[in-house]
A and B are shown apart, each in its own frame.
Chain A
Amino acid sequence: MTGSNDLDRMLASYLDEGPRRAPERTMDAAVAFAAAHPRRRDPLLFLKPDVMARRGSLFGPQLVWAALLIVLTLGVVAAIAIGTRPSQEPVVPPPSALTPPSPSPSIAPRPTEFAIELFDPSNEIRTPITIQDASGTLVNAEPGEPQDAEPVDQIAATTDPADPTRLELVWTFCGAGSDQTLTIDESGLVWRLARVFPCDTLGGADLRMTLTFSEPVDATTLDIELVDVPQ
């Protein structure tokens, strides 16, 4: 019972065993519960989220209403503030305030780009990754080994406690073929990993790579997102 197909076939057959009819008493109890708890029309239903709303959906009805409420409140506050402000003479700034600022001596970050390849031995799939770092602080990128760890929920980063300039990035497997690109913005805090989706193969170990920076990076301060780009 070691082959993958054998296991799938046996599992399907094993799961096929068992009851398919629900006990009558459970169904009767549910119907009795409904009769004992008649539902009244909820006037605030439109504010409540859809039970099948996708996680992270930004434009649910409750959010639209909350945004409208905030805008309305801000409008009222602004109107009151303008209405109660005493009339003033226009303030002329002193000449020193008009002096243009001197150019900053800071050096602009130099963007860097790395290209590496991850290898998943269980599927024999190679995944090319391009890393575009606009902050100029990335000094190295290395592929990580697939591990038997708890699967991540989309994407996660962890700072190496022994060396805070090193950070491990782990994200869900997505099959073969398409290139993936990690972009790091100028602040070094906003990371986006884009890949073509849906993938052609599902079911592989999470992908890993280790990034080394010129300065310590705290993974908990990063805004990281895995972006699935439709084909």
Chain B
Amino acid sequence: MLRELVERAANGDQEAFASLVQASSGRLYAVAYRILRDPYLAEDALQQTLITIWSELPRLRDPDRFEAWSYRVIVRASTAEAKRGKRAATTLRLLPDDADEARGPDEFGAVADRDRLDRGFKKLNADQRAVLVLHHYVGLTPVDMAEVLGIPVGTVGSRLHYATKALRAAIEADERATSTEERSA
């Protein structure tokens, strides 16, 4: 079904392209959002990706590789958006006052950990975020990631290792900063 849509869209069939857009945009936007952590930047990346798909689709020799190729295009568009840094990607999370009281200590700790992870993830560069998203969210294997990113499998492994290490370091630095603030308060 998807293969047929890809073949027809590659031949210039606009209805097929519209169906392809409907079928693929959700997963592509989800990836862009998770790399960029900003809905506006993710929207720009998706728009650029869909235009690239329309323009370059005839050069995709094997229609069965459409999904991998579309991930490649969205990752490249997302990293380009991140590097342009058009908008400040700041997100405020406001918890209602009574929320803290309603939470048990474990739940509160989980929220603190999640926020620390959020801050650490945003400190990574776009290439590092992309490998983590493709692996932990999309669920691609290193071999599939190598195809999507157009790099050797060994390089994928290396990037995953360094991205995870950088994330862990960012979280630990955040933990240290928080405990110093708490002591001085």
| A interface, CB within 8 angstroms of B | 1-2, 7-8, 10-16, 18-23, 26-27, 29-31, 33-35, 37-42, 45, 48-52, 54-55, 122, 148, 151-154, 171-175, 197-199, 202-206, 226, 228
A16 CB contacts on chain B under 8 angstroms: 137
Which secondary structure dominates where chain A touches chain B?
A: loop
A10 CB contacts on chain B under 8 angstroms: 113-114, 117
- Tell me the bound Cα distance from A228 to B143 in angstroms: 13
Given contacts A18-B30, A23-B29, contact A172 B158 (CB under 8 A): yes
- Tell me the bound Cα distance from A198 to B154 in angstroms: 9
A15: nearest residue on chain B (CB-CB)?
B137
The 8 Å CB contact of B161, one of A19, A37, A205, is A205
B112: nearest residue on chain A (CB-CB)?
A1
Do A7 and B43 touch (CB < 8 A)?
no
Do A33 and B54 touch (CB < 8 A)?
yes
Chain B 100-119, CB-CB to A under 8 Å as 1, else 0, gives: 00000000000001101110
B68: nearest residue on chain A (CB-CB)?
A52
Q: What's the nearest-Cβ distance from chain B to residue A183, in Å? A: 19
Interface residues on B, range: 35 or more
Given contacts A14-B121, A26-B25, A52-B69, contact A38 B14 (CB under 8 A): yes
B116 CB contacts on chain A under 8 angstroms: 1
- Contacts beyond the supplied A11-B117, A31-B17, A51-B59: 14 A-B pairs with Cβ under 8 Å: A2-B168, A7-B167, A15-B136, A38-B14, A51-B56, A51-B69, A52-B69, A52-B72, A151-B161, A172-B152, A173-B157, A199-B157, A202-B142, A204-B157
| B interface, CB within 8 angstroms of A | 12, 14, 17-18, 21-22, 25-30, 33-34, 39, 43, 46-47, 50-51, 54-56, 58-62, 65, 68-69, 72, 113-114, 116-118, 121, 132-133, 136-137, 142-143, 147, 150-162, 164-165, 167-168, 171-172
Q: Can you offer 26 A-B residue contacts whose CB atoms are under 8 A?
A: A12-B137, A14-B121, A15-B34, A18-B30, A22-B25, A27-B25, A30-B54, A33-B54, A37-B54, A51-B56, A51-B60, A52-B69, A52-B147, A52-B150, A151-B161, A152-B155, A153-B151, A154-B152, A172-B155, A172-B157, A172-B158, A198-B153, A199-B154, A202-B154, A202-B157, A203-B161
